[in-house]
Amino acid sequence: MLTVHHLNNSRSQRVLWLLEELGVPYEIVRYQRQPDMRAPKELRAIHPLGKSPVVTDNGNTIAESGAILEYIIATYGNGRLIPRADTPERLRYTYWLHYAEGSAMTPLLLKLLFTLMPKRAPALLRPLVRKVSNQALSTLVNPQLKQHMAYWEGELGKSEWFAGSEFSGADIQMSFPLEAAAARGGLEDGHPRCVAFLERIHARPAYARALEKGGPYEVGR
């Protein structure tokens, strides 16, 4: 049986959601973040990088969210949650599947990093670190994040879902950047289509079932 090595409050929540959408039986091995929010060292026994998500299935160990989604949909999807080959929707699907981690998450991670740095700096250095962090946020990170959010808003104006008129794995993959942007990027300000997208995915029964099994999920908060 497929096993999800699930870290709380992490991207592995998307994997549980995908499996619930497809009705694939699976087991969960749970890992809790350490006080510094890092994954525990036990995950390194599953994959050398010690990151989540990781799934094991039929002797295979698969890491990276996009690769995991591709594997599960190809192995268990039977044509579900993926547009037909040689269609414009399939090309969009592939793009969003890779864009989510390849481009969208970079400014969001930098936003988190520069927000946390002043809080974790030694007291004497805190004013300087705060000044540097605020400068980086205002001149580099926030403008990039604003550009990405405007891009999402425009693309969701073309179709209800990211790859077209049908819900797909691309929407599951894109859920994490949008949820992170809602938590710490100001997504609610001027991006009504993005907010509506989050409302639609949160209303899906499979999303709710994945939350029940995965535990509390507060991206970026």
Flag whether pLDDT at 37 surpasses 80. Answer: no
- Using pLDDT thresholds of 50, 70 and 90, give the confidence band for residue 41: confident
Per DSSP, helices labelled H in 35-87 are 65-76
Q: Which domains does the chain have, with CATH numbers?
A: 3-81+208-214 (3.40.30.10), 88-204 (1.20.1050.10)
| Angle (CA) 10 15 16, round 5° | 95
- Using pLDDT thresholds of 50, 70 and 90, give the confidence band for residue 221: very low
Mean pLDDT computed over 184-206? 96
Straight-line distance from the first to the last Cα atom of the chain, in angstroms, rounded to the nearest whole number: 33
Q: Angle at which helices 12-22 and 169-184 pack, to 10 degrees?
A: 140
Lowest mean pLDDT among 52-56, 73-77, 120-124, 200-204: 120-124
For residues 181, 183, 184, 186, the Cα torsion angle rounded to the nearest 10 degrees is: 60
Of 11 and 160, more confident: 160
